[in-house]
């Protein structure tokens, strides 16, 4: 799956356990790694991430201490993703603890990275790739809770980023989403915002299908700036 290819891509020679923790915790908090999903075993993780077994073991111990994963012993055991509630996600990055400048800056950098990602994706995506994005959008349209809508939203953008075929862009998107996902879940409580976003994503998909670089980049920028503006409105009224 695309999300796993991004989450478990190699970190590089200079990797520390903290980087492994950051990569996996971002994926857990944003919901990309789902509750009760089994992680690859230590040997597989070490190979996938390009780190030592000791580094992986240290990272897993940290995640376990943070209650982000749990371990089951025995033949069918392993390390599994904990069930993280929306309240717990928000406590990791509550809107009330962020300044307006920080939120605006987060939106700006997220937009910049996604605009570049979709610009590349327009030229590098196959029909199969675009259909995966379409599937993500269809899932978003079927979601019934704010949390599920937020998770579907970030999966859609991560899929677009993965189709840029740039591992660094994709991993930057994943890192940003650990902060972004809890925030937009607040917005997805509002049916009007949800409706507007879905309509914007329809335009994004059409632009990708038409290989229209200008419309695709404008659409992604519009989505993120719209969400950022709504977040700032809520922030200023808190």
Instruction: Give the C-alpha separation, 215 to 208, whole Å.
Output: 8
Beta bridge partners of 69: 81
Predicted local confidence at residue 95, as pLDDT: 67
pLDDT tens-digit profile, the chain (238 residues) = 555 655 565 655 444 788 788 778 867 876 768 889 999 999 999 888 888 899 999 999 999 998 899 999 888 889 999 987 765 665 554 566 678 998 999 999 999 999 999 999 999 999 999 999 999 999 999 998 887 898 899 999 999 999 999 989 998 998 888 788 878 888 888 999 999 999 999 999 999 999 999 999 999 999 999 999 999 998 887 5
Instruction: Give the C-alpha separation, 238 to 232, whole Å.
Output: 10
Which residues lie closer than 8 Å to 196 by C-beta, 6 or more apart?
Answer: 226
Tokens (6 digits) for 50: 């390009």
The closest alpha carbon to 110, from 220, 231, 230, belongs to: 220
85-87-90-96 Cα dihedral, nearest 10 degrees: 180
Tokens (6 digits) for 65: 């201490």
Give strand ranges (E) for 61-165.
Answer: 69-72, 78-81
Predicted local confidence at residue 14, as pLDDT: 43
Beta bridge partners of 20: none
Domains of the chain as residue ranges with CATH:
2-84 (1.10.10.10), 88-237 (1.20.120.530)
Predicted local confidence at residue 211, as pLDDT: 96
Instruction: Give the C-alpha separation, 63 to 24, whole Å.
Output: 8
């Amino acid at each position: 799956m695309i999300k796993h290819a991004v989450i478990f891509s190699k970190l590089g020679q200079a990797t520390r356990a903290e980087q492994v923790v950051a990569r996996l915790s971002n994926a857990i908090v944003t919901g990309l790694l789902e509750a009760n999903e089994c992680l690859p075993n230590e040997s597989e993780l070490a190979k996938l991430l390009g780190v030592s077994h000791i580094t992986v073991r240290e990272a897993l111990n940290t995640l376990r201490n943070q209650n982000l994963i749990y371990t089951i012993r025995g033949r069918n055991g392993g390390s599994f993703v904990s069930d993280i509630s929306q309240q717990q996600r928000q406590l990791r990055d509550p809107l009330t603890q962020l300044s307006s400048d920080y939120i605006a800056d987060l939106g700006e950098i997220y937009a910049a990275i996604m605009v570049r990602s979709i610009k590349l994706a327009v030229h590098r995506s196959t029909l199969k790739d675009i259909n995966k994005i379409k599937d993500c959008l269809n899932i978003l349209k079927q979601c019934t809770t704010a949390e599920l809508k937020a998770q579907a939203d970030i999966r859609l953008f991560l899929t677009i980023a993965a189709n840029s075929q740039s591992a660094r862009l994709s991993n930057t998107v994943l890192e940003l989403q650990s902060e972004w996902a809890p925030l937009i879940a607040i917005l997805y409580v509002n049916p009007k915002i949800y409706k507007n976003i879905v309509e914007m994503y329809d335009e994004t998909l059409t632009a990708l299908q038409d290989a229209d670089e200008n419309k695709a980049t404008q659409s992604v920028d519009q989505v993120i700036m719209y969400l950022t503006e709504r977040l700032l409105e809520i922030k200023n009224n808190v």
